[in-house]
Amino acid sequence: MQKIVIHKPGGYEQLCIEKHPDLTPCPGEVLIEVEAIGINYADCVTRMGLYASARQYVGYPITPGFEVAGRVAACGAGVDDLDNGTPVIGISRFGAYATQVAIPRQQVFTLPGKLSIAEGAGFPAVFLTAWYALFELAHPHSGDRILIHSAAGGVGGALVQLGKLAGCHVTGVVGAGHKTNTVYKSGADEVIDKSHQDLWQEANRISPDGYQVILDANGPSTLAQSYRHLAPMGKLVVYGFHGMLPRTGQRMNRIKLAWDYLRTPRFNPFRLTTENRGVLGFNLSFLFDQPAVLLEGMSQLLKWIDSGRISPPQLRTYPLNQVADAHRALESGQSTGKLVLVVP
């Protein structure tokens, strides 16, 4: 088998393709011959050495990646409900950038007939993130107004779809004009292109009374204003700090990182109660400690895919040996939808 190994944090040169012995599934595991691998921004942050759960659960050297699609190659003892050759989606806490993975049975799901292998690999992480943010944390009601930053990305597009599924009025925010149509196609009611529109002036125009839910993975560049634009009883959901990190393989600017940390808003519990607003945060990699929640989320999402109520994200694929190019594209901020590695 082959896998991508990061021996120490750094730039794209740290993404090493190595040969390793083939795997044998342990009891309760499913061995998957991988055909496609979903790429997430967390993989880039892992490469940079800044992803807390990567250090906590694995350390370095590490093989990044949370999601794969392929076919069952073998099952460990106690797994008797999957046949070899069955197309499946697998979710792992790291280790997915490989041509073989062995994953606990409860983290393996039969590939829906409406999804290709590549679409299956790009589905779980972004939709589970969106599902958890909306339905486990924010609990929106029909008619609520939702503002979604980075709405043309994988998670952003999933949030748009799920927000509309919940009956909400959805406003998406993008950073470039070529991303606007992508967000409208996902179902957004309004799109703000902050490359030539004043973000918060437009947000006020669209919803003068504020938003019941704002979803923000930018970091200090927008967090304070996102909080200010919540309606009474509104909720700000934070799931990343992308704006604090370097783009396209630049070296980490420790001074900028420290400055961004200092200007990140601190939310005083007295203000939260008097202003009647909430701030919630999460990291999807910790969801593996809650297998029942993970199973609930994936089961619901796969039902919605089967019924046609949600659609997989738009894909851009790269061969496994072009993983550095894929990371570069994702970090550029110019990509839309989901990036996926394809195993020859």
Residue 243 has pLDDT above 70, yes or no: no
pLDDT digits (tens, 9 = 90+) for 110-123: 999 999 999 999 99
| pLDDT for the residue 288 | 86
For residues 9 and 12, give the distance between their C-alpha atoms in angstroms, rounded to a whole number.
Answer: 10
pTM value surpassing 0.85: yes
Residue 260 has pLDDT above 80, yes or no: no
pLDDT digits (tens, 9 = 90+) for 275-303: 999 999 998 888 888 989 999 999 999 99
Supply φ then ψ for residue 249, to 5 degrees. Answer: 75, 10
Supply φ then ψ for residue 208, to 5 degrees. Answer: -60, -25
Query: What residues pair up with 29 in beta bridges, in sequence order?
Result: 104
DSSP calls for 305-331: HHHTSS-PPPEEEEEGGGHHHHHHHHH
Judged by phi (left if over 0) then psi (alpha if -120 to 50, else beta), residue 109 lies in beta
Question: Hey, what's the torsion of the CAs at 23, 24, 26, 32, to 10 degrees?
Answer: 70
- Which residue in 27, 119, 66 sits closest to 317, CA to CA? 119
| Cβ(17)–Cβ(321) below 8 Å | yes
CATH 3.90.180.10 positions along the chain are: 2-123+312-342
Q: 126-284 architecture in CATH?
A: 3-Layer(aba) Sandwich (3.40)
SS3 204: helix
Judged by phi (left if over 0) then psi (alpha if -120 to 50, else beta), residue 195 lies in alpha
Pairing of strands 29-39, 16-19: unpaired
More confident residue, 243 or 59: 59
Q: What's the rounded mean pLDDT across residues 267-278? A: 91
| pLDDT for the residue 222 | 92
What lies within 8 Å, CB to CB, of 333 at 6+ separation is 175, 176, 247
For residues 210 and 226, give the distance between their C-alpha atoms in angstroms, rounded to a whole number.
Answer: 10
CATH of the structural domain 2-123+312-342, one choice from 3.40.50.1820, 3.40.50.300, 3.90.180.10, 3.40.50.20: 3.90.180.10
Q: What's the rounded mean pLDDT across residues 198-211? A: 97
Cα–Cα distances in Å, from 250 out to 55, 182, 334? 21, 28, 16
CATH 3.40.50.720 positions along the chain are: 126-284
| pLDDT for the residue 289 | 87
pLDDT digits (tens, 9 = 90+) for 70-120: 999 999 999 999 999 999 999 999 999 999 999 999 999 999 999 999 999
What count of Cα atoms within 13 Å lies in the side-chain half-sphere of residue 162?
Answer: 30
- Which residue in 80, 176, 99, 87 sits closest to 123, CA to CA? 87
Supply φ then ψ for residue 240, to 5 degrees. Answer: 175, 170
- Which residue in 124, 130, 77 sits closest to 104, CA to CA? 77
- pLDDT category at 25 given cuts 50, 70, 90 is very high
What lies within 8 Å, CB to CB, of 182 at 6+ separation is 152, 157, 174, 314, 336, 337
For residues 148 and 212, give the distance between their C-alpha atoms in angstroms, rounded to a whole number.
Answer: 11
- pLDDT category at 249 given cuts 50, 70, 90 is low
Tell me the longest C-alpha to C-alpha distance in the chain. 60
